[in-house]
Amino acid sequence: MRKLQVIIGIVIFVSVFLPWASVNLGFGIQYTAVGTDGASGILVLTMGLGCAALAFLPNIRFRRLGQLATGIIALIGAAIYWGAATGGLSGLGVAVSPEPGFIICIIAAIAAIIFAIPRLVARSAKQESATIASTQETEVPCLSCGALNARVAKFCPTCGAELRGTRTER
């Protein structure tokens, strides 16, 4: 999965240098903007690099969180870029068309998010299962009130009942 994360990061990075938007100003004049034309495009560029670089972290949880964060921030940066491009020209009655770089960036950012979330959820569920299993080995319920108690306890701290047969005898 590291390869996929690196590929997604590189795709986001490269997409910033491709055309993001084009504007037909009339009289045969067309302007094409690339992602690096705005500050939010530079943010997206940085997130692409970050996504690729985070793939080399040894801790998988940080890797997935980083991938999720960079995907979300790249998506927000692209949305800000698009909002600035269309908002500034809307009063002039000029249409802004998305170009391949913008579309590729959006798809790659969404892919970063989609591939990070299930792995984070699966990892959390696995950790929760391990926590429950370890709790079951070290705690026992009180027969009177049902409260969980340490296996070595003699009396329940909740109701005071004697905990019989719960201690490990040495």
The reply to whether 48 falls in a domain is yes
Between CA 7 and CA 75 the distance in angstroms is 17
The reply to whether 8 falls in a domain is yes
Model confidence at 103, in pLDDT bands (50, 70, 90)?
very high
pLDDT (tens digit, 9 = 90+) per residue, 40-65?
888 888 888 888 888 888 777 778 88
The reply to whether 103 falls in a domain is yes
Model confidence at 126, in pLDDT bands (50, 70, 90)?
low
Domains held by the chain: number? 1
Between CA 150 and CA 136 the distance in angstroms is 10
The reply to whether 16 falls in a domain is yes
Give the pLDDT score at 167: 46
φ/ψ of 142, rounded to 5, equals -75, 135
Between CA 56 and CA 63 the distance in angstroms is 8
The reply to whether 142 falls in a domain is no
Six-digit token string for 160: 């005071």
The reply to whether 69 falls in a domain is yes
Rounded to two decimals, what is the model's pTM? 0.64
The reply to whether 163 falls in a domain is no
Between CA 121 and CA 39 the distance in angstroms is 33
The reply to whether 83 falls in a domain is yes
Output the CA angle 21-27-31, nearest 5 degrees: 20
Tell me the residue range of the domain where 47 lies.
2-134
Between CA 6 and CA 112 the distance in angstroms is 10
**Residues with Cβ within 8 Å of residue 49, at least 6 apart in sequence:** 9, 13
